[in-house]
């Protein structure tokens, strides 16, 4: 099976009351770890590439690695551009083998977001590619852009119908209290998602797939491991998995996770070097990092997303 769009994945996920994991990829070991978990659990997958990942690893290397993952496993895998900043970047990914793109116009005024998103949708649909748009602003860090907490805005349910109808997007990322990065909330805070907004959005857009960005949970045991083996990460907490599970049963069909993979990988590499200070073969420390990613993704698929067995 060639790489797929998100269309059927989202239709099945919406009907089945589960979500697909969209995991950020930057190199071969990350891809292999994610795909290893999905293969064992027979789960559909979205592998997503940010502007920063394309700059780091090169567009063609990443496309070919993701194609290799599909050839090796036969799983339904969508290759998705994460946070496409402009039309040109989306076009370059559509022309270069991606099956899905996000155009992130959320930092623009509403009418500019509509116009930019519509332009991408027209080009993408003419080439058989699905498009994710975004309404509302998440706090945190994306590429080099930092959105301050007070500048973050929940999505206004009154706008979603107009936005989706006028742009023709296939899915919509909304802001309901998630945020990017590892430092989402301070210890002692009790983060809750605005599931009331999600419910209202679901009523306005029946059957339409919703996306959650910034959905890492920042498991404390991994922060502790990083710090136990020489790291110095400030203590922080992420989105409770119990909240994400509820969202996955509602209209949310795609949940984005990057920071938790970074944390798992970093903890494994730190531990490896702490225990083997004389080793220097990259295969020795990247193998446990890849396994740590696989374990993290298997946990997300089974305990949060509910998409095991849905490939
Ligand atoms: O939302 C952002 C993703 O975590 C990608 O991060 O831009 O550092 O590759 P990046
Ligand atoms: P996290 O930083 O919470 O993993 O979010 C990743 C994301 O939204 C990628 O688009
Ligand atoms: Zn994001």
Q: HEC profile for 127-147?
A: CCCEEEEEECECEEEECCEEE
The ligand placed nearest to the CA atom of residue 180 is: 2
What residues make up the domain containing 100? 7-223+237-259+293-305
Give me the pLDDT at residue 143, please: 52
- Cβ–ligand 1 distance for 143 under 6 Å, the answer yes
Mean per-residue pLDDT of the chain: 95
- Residues flanking ligand 2, CB < 6 Å: 24, 82-83, 180-181, 213-216, 256-260
Please tell me the residue having the least CA distance from ligand 1 atom 10. 143
Neighbours of 270 (CB within 10 A): 19
Give me the pLDDT at residue 240, please: 96
Among 26, 101, 213, which is best to mutate for testing ligand 2, by the most ligand atoms less than 8 A from CB? 213
Residues 6+ positions from 100 with CB-CB distance below 8 Å: 5, 6, 46, 78, 79, 80, 81, 129, 130, 131, 132
Q: What is the number of structural domains in the chain?
A: 1
Q: Over pLDDT 70: what percentage of the chain?
A: 95
- How much distance in Å is there from the Cα of 264 to the middle of ligand 2? 14
181 has a pLDDT exceeding 90: yes
How deeply is 109 buried, as exposed, middle or buried, from its count of CB atoms within 10 A (0-12, 13-18, 19+)? exposed
- How much distance in Å is there from the Cα of 141 to the middle of ligand 2? 9
Distances in Å between the Cα of 280 and the Cα atoms of 38, 236, 273, 276, 287 are: 30, 31, 9, 9, 13
- How much distance in Å is there from the Cα of 82 to the middle of ligand 3? 7
Residue 284 domain-assigned (yes or no): no
Residue 1 domain-assigned (yes or no): no
Residue 165 domain-assigned (yes or no): yes
275 has a pLDDT exceeding 90: yes
Per-residue pLDDT tens over the stretch 121-161: 999 999 999 999 999 988 765 555 555 555 568 999 999 99
- Cβ–ligand 1 distance for 52 under 6 Å, the answer yes
- Cβ–ligand 1 distance for 258 under 6 Å, the answer yes
302 has a pLDDT exceeding 90: yes
Mean pLDDT of 76-103: 98
Residue 207 domain-assigned (yes or no): yes
89 has a pLDDT exceeding 60: yes
**Entry pTM:** 0.96
- Name the strand (E) or helix (H) holding 113: helix 110-126
Residue 278 domain-assigned (yes or no): no
Give me the pLDDT at residue 150, please: 54
13 has a pLDDT exceeding 70: yes
Residue 282 domain-assigned (yes or no): no
Residue 192 domain-assigned (yes or no): yes
Residue 228 domain-assigned (yes or no): no
Residue 52 CA, closest ligand 1 atom number: 9
235 has a pLDDT exceeding 90: no
Tell me the pLDDT band of 258, cut-offs 50, 70 and 90: very high
- How much distance in Å is there from the Cα of 1 to the middle of ligand 1? 28
CATH code of 102's domain? 3.20.20.70
Residue 51 CA, closest ligand 1 atom number: 7
């Amino acid at each position: 099976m060639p790489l797929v769009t998100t269309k059927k994945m989202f239709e099945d996920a919406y009907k089945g009351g589960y979500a697909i994991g969209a995991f950020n990829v930057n190199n071969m070991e990350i891809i292999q770890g994610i795909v290893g978990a999905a293969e064992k659990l027979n789960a559909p997958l979205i592998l997503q590439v940010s502007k920063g990942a394309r700059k780091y690893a090169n567009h063609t290397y990443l496309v070919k690695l993701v194609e290799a993952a599909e050839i090796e496993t036969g799983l339904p895998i969508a290759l998705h551009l994460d946070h496409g900043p402009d039309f040109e970047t989306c076009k370059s990914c559509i022309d270069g083998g991606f099956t899905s793109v996000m155009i992130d116009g959320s930092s623009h005024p509403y009418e500019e977001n509509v116009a930019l998103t519509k332009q991408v949708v027209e080009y993408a649909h003419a080439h058989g590619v699905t498009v994710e748009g975004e309404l509302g602003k998440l706090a945190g860090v994306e590429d080099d852009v930092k959105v301050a907490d007070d500048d973050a805005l929940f999505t206004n349910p009154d706008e979603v119908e107009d936005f989706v109808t006028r742009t023709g997007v296939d899915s919509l990322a909304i802001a309901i209290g998630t945020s990017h990065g590892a430092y989402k909330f301070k210890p002692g805070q009790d983060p809750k998602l605005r599931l009331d907004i999600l419910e209202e959005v679901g009523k306005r857009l029946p059957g339409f797939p919703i996306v959650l960005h910034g959905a890492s949970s920042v498991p404390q045991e991994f922060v502790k491991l990083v710090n136990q083996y020489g790291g110095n990460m400030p203590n922080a907490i992420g989105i409770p998995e119990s909240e994400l599970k509820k969202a996955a049963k509602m209209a949310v069909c795609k949940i984005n996770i990057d920071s938790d993979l970074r944390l798992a990988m970093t903890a494994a590499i730190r531990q490896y070097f702490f225990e083997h200070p004389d080793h220097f073969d990259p295969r020795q420390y990247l193998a446990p990092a890849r396994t740590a990613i696989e374990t993290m993704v298997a946990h997300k698929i089974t305990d949060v997303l509910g998409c095991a067995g849905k490939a």
